[in-house]
A and B are shown apart, each in its own frame.
Chain A
């Protein structure tokens, strides 16, 4: 059982940094999530890095994705039940360049029950 052993962390910066990393992720901080995803994607030279970073910019300029107020305001429907393609049509434009996913269909139970793992 006894062995020479060194634990290496590549994302969390040696373990101590977990505090700093996780503290960024407070309530309503999905903008930080996306910005961090952008930074990680660029650091890893991912082929879709610019796509991820573009999404991060879009969300931050719209005031945050949680609740998606402009989405709801234009369509009058909830994000959890309305397909994105239908929303494009309801805005008065025809056709859709990309399929837009509906979101918000997961996550509600954590508001009803304890959010922590077991």
Chain B
């Protein structure tokens, strides 16, 4: 397909040397698990807001009112991605919820669909199907979010992967009838009353592929409560974005078939555990049996989750990224690694079902 990040650091990222083949019943299982985890996640967010659980979630007091106000206004979420462990038997298990800045969207929505069109000498669409209605759902979601006519889009412009994801989302927003200009995060202005773009236009709504926990650590974060800007993802997504949310889910839904036991203290699951920093990303600073990764998040509090090693197929460890668009299951993207840890360099492998 020739998309910009088909290679990452000289290594292939898009990998069609293999693919995953599902049955329709297996896709139904994944779709149902995704809907179920989303259902209990929304309930858990509501519980966290009502009970004021910001401290165990790792959200500072000063940021909590931004989160709760966002939830009470029911600001809609555009998208999220559940990372699931599943080998085709039993119930899919939630590894974590990428609720704030999920990526690998364009390849899931567009590139693997185009791959399907080319499969079997062009007869792929006749013979196979794909768990993928992401594109249509995104366009519909933009139109249903009650946004102003212009939504600004921003990310770290030096990340080609992030910029690709943002440009794809801009595309879907434009197809929903929105204006969708881009500016880099450091180009966002503050005029004392509102955030502004480079031409001093007020930013009424902002899609940011930039984590909330970063926004709230930075100099302009203090202006967020004063500004009328609608943020996408909304601030309440900080709650499921915290890895401590895995522990809250387990607390509220013990022994749920789609969850792995998780606690805020080590040794409580009674099984081998993986420790994850609350705001860690891309497999950094995790500790599990036989695994210890480095990274910049070593000073953060952790959650301890029952360790369920990824299944291994021909030496490859897949994570199933199940997308949620506007609160509903929308498609699947699979990332593989040669190790049990999924990182930003893990390869994207397409799928189909019969």
Chain A contact residues, CB within 8 Å of chain B: 1-2, 5, 7-12, 15-16, 18-23, 25-30, 33-34, 36-37, 40-41, 44, 46, 48, 51-52, 55, 59, 65-66, 80-81, 83-84, 98-110, 112-118
Does A103 lie within 8 Å of B162, measured CB to CB?
no
* Contacts between chains A and B (CB distance < 8 A), count: 201
Binds A, one of B41-49, B62-70, B195-203: B195-203
Residue of A nearest to B159 (CB): A115
CA distance A52 to B195 in the complex (A): 16
Task: State how many angstroms separate the Cβ of A6 from the closest Cβ of chain B.
Answer: 9
Contacting residues, chain B, for A80 (C-beta < 8 A): 219-220
Complex alpha-carbon distance, A72 and B167, angstroms? 31
Bitwise, B154-169 to A at CB < 8 A (1) or not (0) is 1111111111110110
Question: B265 at the A/B interface (Cβ < 8 Å)?
Answer: no
Stretch at the interface among B84-92, B99-107, B251-259: B99-107
Write the chain A residue with the least CB distance to B4. Answer: A22
A108 to B221, CA, bound (A): 11
B residues near A55, Cβ cutoff 8 Å: 198-199
User: Could you tell me the distance between the alpha carbons of A73 and B186 in the complex, rounded to whole angstroms?
Assistant: 19
Q: Are A105 and B160 in contact (CB under 8 A)?
A: no
Query: Please, which residue of chain B has its CB at the minimum distance from the CB of A116?
Result: B344
A117 contacts which chain B residues (CB < 8 A)? 101-104, 155, 159, 161-162, 165, 209
In the complex, what's the smallest C-beta–C-beta distance from B6 to chain A, in angstroms?
Answer: 7
Quote the shortest CB–CB distance from A59 to chain B (angstroms): 7
- Chain B's nearest CB lies how many Å from the CB of A70? 16
Chain A: CB-nearest residue to B155: A117
A34 touches which of B106, B131, B167, B198 (Cβ 8 Å): B198
Q: Which residues of B contact A (CB under 8 A)?
A: 1-6, 24, 27, 98, 100-104, 106, 109-111, 113-114, 129, 131, 135-136, 154-165, 167-168, 170-171, 174-175, 179-192, 195-196, 198-201, 209-211, 214-215, 217-221, 223, 281-282, 284, 295-297, 344, 353
Q: Which residue of A lies closest to B130 (CB)?
A: A1
The one of B101, B154, B200 in contact with A118, judged by C-beta atoms closer than 8 angstroms, is B101
Q: Quick check: A46 and B157 within 8 Å, CB to CB?
A: no
A20–B167 CA distance with the chains assembled, in angstroms: 12
Q: Which residues of A contact B185 (CB under 8 A)?
A: 106-107, 110
What separation, in Å, do the CA atoms of A110 and B198 have in the docked complex?
20
Instruction: Contact check, A26 vs B158: say whether CB atoms are below 8 A apart.
Output: yes
Closest Cβ of chain A to B179, distance in Å, is 7
B218 CB contact (under 8 Å) in A20, A99, A108: A108
Which residues of chain A are within 8 angstroms of B211 by Cβ–Cβ distance?
109
Closest to A81 in B: B219
Give every chain A residue within 8 A of B220 (Cβ-Cβ).
80, 105-106
> Please, which residues of chain A bring their CB within 8 A of the CB of B113?
5, 7
Which residues does chain A contribute within 8 Å of B217, judged by CB atoms?
A: 109
Instruction: Look across to chain A and name the residue whose beta carbon is closest to the beta carbon of B223.
Output: A105
Q: Are B284 and A1 in contact (CB under 8 A)?
A: no
B residues near A15, Cβ cutoff 8 Å: 1, 3, 110-111, 114
Taking A101-B191, A105-B218, A105-B223 as known contacts, 8 extra A-B pairs with beta carbons closer than 8 A to each other, sorted by chain A number, are A9-B110, A11-B174, A18-B167, A26-B158, A37-B198, A105-B190, A105-B219, A107-B185
User: Are A16's CB and B179's CB within 8 A?
Assistant: no
Given A18-B164, A22-B164, are A30 and B157 neighbors across the interface (CB < 8 Å)? yes
Known contacts A21-B167, A116-B162; is A103 also within 8 Å of B1 by CB?
no
- Cα–Cα, bound, A102→B136 (Å): 38
Contact assessment for B182 and A33 in the assembled complex, using a CB-CB cutoff below 8 Å: yes
Beyond A1-B129, A22-B160, A102-B190, whether A10 also contacts B171 by CB under 8 A is: yes
CA A57 – CA B218 in complex, angstroms? 29
